[in-house]
């Protein structure tokens, strides 16, 4: 960014954190940044003091090349854990990176940060505030180790909107919670998860502050961009053949609904049933039962799309098995569970678990 941008970020909750995450967590406290340095192929995680030195050195070279403070640079990495950074190789590439800076499309960046991804993930949209048009755009990478809870999941959002910092942080965290924190591919949490937004105000719109129609419009737009990126990650899940929306309603609270939905989404037995197109609804009820959510099994109901598989905790019978299996043959479908207790609800997104997932991860370093 030509000028310091208001910056907020959400990082992995994994207690084993990569060097760039630790460095960026330290720097984000200022609430401002101007540049982002990302490398793919090496996570710079579990690399000790040498890894932190590498993160700082590369950042310093970029700062000198751009003529900005070192502290204004956020650093992010993705790739193999436990291998030292090829520092000289990265340092030698930085001058050409700086020389090639432009205000063009995000496509090159989205492709550069891919690892096991099969396509670049991008989204952009615009809105107005005080009659002034502004944009929110973003890129993401991730196909495996996806259960962020801020896996490796990286997402970088940029905006030219002028947004009040406290509101930006709140809106960003709320949007992350209903997008990147509502997806899972394999239930693993990375050492490097980072989701960051930079808003530099270059659109020169009136400052967007909380409690205004402009704030609602901004947060809605931000939420749509993040949810699109999150869904793209699930669509690209390693070895995935299905995209599944899991909706839980009737829970005692939204938090309980989220617990139940994530238990279903992370169950290997459920996900392999999706892959095998097996309408094994009992596995879903089992996942709900161990999720930690309050459950009365006599009140549970379950649908695959519009096919009712179970009601009041028991199989509906008839042709439900056949019709349910037909739903599971589709590339995309919905699983909805009603706990029948109250009004808590949540929606999460997941993929199936295939032979290909095992192959990709068995061969990741070989």
Question: What distance in Å separates the CA atoms of residue 83 and residue 241, rounded to the nearest whole number?
Answer: 31
Does 69 share its domain with 101?
yes
Q: What is the CA angle 344-348-352, rounded to 5?
A: 140
pLDDT at 361: 65
Which run of H or E residues covers position 304?
strand 301-304
Does 162 share its domain with 304?
no
| pLDDT tens for the chain, residues 1 to 366 | 999 999 999 998 889 999 999 999 999 999 999 999 999 889 999 999 999 999 999 999 999 999 999 999 999 998 889 999 999 999 999 999 999 888 767 888 888 887 777 888 999 999 999 999 999 999 998 765 445 443 458 899 999 999 999 999 999 999 999 999 898 865 567 789 899 999 999 999 999 999 999 999 999 999 999 999 999 988 887 778 999 999 999 999 999 999 999 999 999 999 999 999 999 999 999 999 999 999 999 999 999 999 999 999 999 999 999 999 999 999 999 999 999 999 999 999 999 988 887 777 676 555
Q: What is the pTM of this model?
A: 0.90
**Residue recorded with tokens 């959002």:** 157
Does 184 share its domain with 43?
yes
Which run of H or E residues covers position 241?
none
* 3-class DSSP state of 132: strand
Q: HSE, CB side, 13 Å, CA atoms: give it for residue 169.
A: 11
pLDDT at 136: 98
In this structure, are residues 225 and 187 in contact, taking their beta carbons and an 8 Å threshold? Answer: no
Q: Which residues contact 213 (CB under 8 A, 6 or more apart)?
A: none
Q: 10 Å Cβ neighbour count for 317?
A: 9
Q: 10 Å Cβ neighbour count for 40?
A: 18
For residue 26, give the CATH number of its domain.
Answer: 3.60.70.12
| C-alpha R_g of the chain | 22
Does 172 share its domain with 225?
yes
Q: 10 Å Cβ neighbour count for 13?
A: 12
Q: Which residues contact 65 (CB under 8 A, 6 or more apart)?
A: 94, 95, 98
Domain end position, chosen among 219, 235, 251 = 235
What region does 277 belong to: left with phi over 0, alpha with psi -120 to 50, or beta? Answer: left
Q: How far is residue 129 from each of residues 200, 214, 227, 355, measured CA to CA in Å? A: 15, 6, 22, 49
Please give the tally of structural domains in the chain: 2
Inter-helix orientation angle 281-290/254-266, to 10°: 130
Domain end position, chosen among 235, 267, 293 = 235
pLDDT at 256: 98
In this structure, are residues 339 and 326 in contact, taking their beta carbons and an 8 Å threshold? Answer: no
Does 247 share its domain with 212?
no
In this structure, are residues 122 and 136 in contact, taking their beta carbons and an 8 Å threshold? Answer: no
Does 307 share its domain with 225?
no
Q: How far is residue 22 from each of residues 11, 27, 64, 75, 227, measured CA to CA in Å? A: 9, 9, 21, 9, 26
Question: What distance in Å separates the CA atoms of residue 337 and residue 245, rounded to the nearest whole number?
Answer: 11
> Does residue 152 carry a catalytic annotation?
yes
Domain end position, chosen among 235, 264, 283 = 235
pLDDT at 148: 46
**Residue recorded with tokens 């901004």:** 218
| Domain limits for position 337 | 243-362
- Give just the sign of the alpha carbon dihedral 200, 202, 207, 211: negative
pLDDT at 145: 46
Q: What is the CA angle 355-360-366, rounded to 5?
A: 135
Phi then psi dihedrals of residue 222, to 5 deg: -60, -45
Does 229 share its domain with 315?
no
* 3-class DSSP state of 160: coil
Question: What distance in Å separates the CA atoms of residue 181 and residue 183, rounded to the nearest whole number?
Answer: 6
Does 230 share its domain with 251?
no
Q: HSE, CB side, 13 Å, CA atoms: give it for residue 76.
A: 26
Does 106 share its domain with 60?
yes
Phi then psi dihedrals of residue 42, to 5 deg: -145, 125
Does 76 share its domain with 189?
yes
In this structure, are residues 75 and 58 in contact, taking their beta carbons and an 8 Å threshold? Answer: yes
Q: Which of 7, 152, 184, 316 is catalytic?
A: 152
């Amino acid at each position: 960014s030509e000028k310091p941008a208001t910056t907020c970020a959400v990082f992995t909750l994994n207690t084993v954190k990569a060097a760039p995450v630790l460095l960026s967590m330290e720097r984000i406290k200022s609430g401002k940044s101007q540049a982002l340095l990302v490398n793919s192929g090496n996570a710079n995680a579990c690399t000790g003091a040498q890894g932190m030195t590498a993160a700082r050195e590369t950042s310093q070279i970029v700062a000198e090349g751009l003529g900005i403070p070192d502290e204004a640079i956020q650093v992010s990495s993705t790739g193999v854990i436990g291998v030292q950074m090829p520092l000289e190789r990265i340092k030698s590439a930085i001058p050409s990176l700086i020389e090639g800076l432009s205000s063009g499309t995000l496509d090159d960046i989205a492709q550069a940060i891919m690892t096991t991804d099969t396509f670049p993930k991008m989204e952009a949209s615009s809105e107005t505030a005080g009659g002034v048009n502004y944009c929110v755009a973003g890129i993401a990478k991730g196909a495996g180790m996806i259960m962020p809870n801020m896996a490796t999941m990286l997402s970088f959002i940029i905006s030219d909107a002028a947004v009040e910092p406290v509101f930006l942080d709140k809106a960003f965290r709320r949007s992350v919670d209903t997008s990147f924190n509502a997806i899972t591919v394999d239930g693993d949490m990375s050492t490097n998860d980072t989701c960051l937004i930079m808003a530099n105000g270059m659109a020169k719109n009136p400052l967007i502050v909380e409690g205004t129609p402009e704030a609602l419009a901004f947060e809605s737009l931000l939420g749509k961009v993040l949810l699109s990126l999150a869904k793209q990650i699930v669509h690209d899940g390693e070895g995935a053949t299905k995209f599944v929306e899991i909706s839980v309603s009737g829970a005692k609270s939204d938090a309980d609904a989220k617990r139940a939905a994530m238990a279903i989404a992370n169950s290997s037995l459920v996900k392999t049933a999706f892959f095998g197109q097996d309408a094994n609804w009992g596995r879903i009820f089992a996942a709900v039962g161990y999720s930690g959510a309050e459950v009365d099994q006599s009140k549970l109901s379950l649908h695959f799309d519009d096919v009712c598989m179970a009601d009041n905790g028991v199989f509906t019978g008839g042709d439900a098995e056949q019709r349910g299996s037909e739903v599971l043959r589709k590339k995309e479908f919905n699983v909805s569970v009603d706990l029948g207790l109250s009004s808590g609800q949540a929606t999460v997104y997941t993929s199936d678990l295939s032979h290909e997932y095992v192959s990709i991860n068995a061969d990741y370093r070989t």
